[in-house]
Amino acid sequence: MKKLSLLLAACLMASPLALADVVIIGHPSGPDSISSNQVRDLYLNRSQALPDGQSANPFELPEGDATRAEFHSKVTGRNDAQLKAFWSQQVFTGRGQPPEEAGNASAMKAQVASTPGAIGYIDSADVDDSVKVILTP
């Protein structure tokens, strides 16, 4: 019983560290804010424009990335398997292509910072002056 209590305590203490504190970032010339619903619509191919009317260019982290999982859990409500199925259907029916992939948080920042209309997500600890936070879901 004591081992189980220690294991439970260790899991509870470690769990906040395992969750990413995800933020939505945008190009410096983009809108100053965006709603969760607008972000969801961009990442699920329901919209192609930012709130200020610019054409949106969303970027995605790779499957299996903890920040990606946290983002989709909070914003789209889908896991990697559901996203893969969704985008397979979108591509097959000619409705759209998945967002361009950034290999990691640094690549995400670089792509968002250098692409007008870009939107992405990273852990809040990775934010710097090259991009602006437009939503904390």
Query: Tens digit of pLDDT for each residue in 48-94?
Result: 999 999 999 999 999 999 999 999 999 999 999 999 999 999 999 99
CATH 2.30.30.60 fits 20-135, yes or no: no
User: What count of other Cβ atoms lies within 10 Å of the Cβ of residue 113?
Assistant: 18
The type of residue at 77 is G
Per-residue model confidence as pLDDT tens digits over 96-108 = 999 999 999 999 9
Q: What pTM does this model have?
A: 0.84
For range 17-37, the mean pLDDT: 87
Element containing residue 107 per DSSP (H, E): helix 105-114
The type of residue at 69 is A
**Residue the block writes with tokens 């990273």:** 122
| pLDDT band with cut points at 50, 70 and 90 for residue 2 | low
pLDDT of the residue at 16:
44
Domain ranges of the chain: 20-135
The region that residue 39 occupies, defined by phi over 0 for left and psi between -120 and 50 for alpha, beta otherwise, is alpha
What backbone phi and psi angles, to 5 degrees, belong to 116?
Answer: -55, 135
pLDDT of the residue at 71:
97
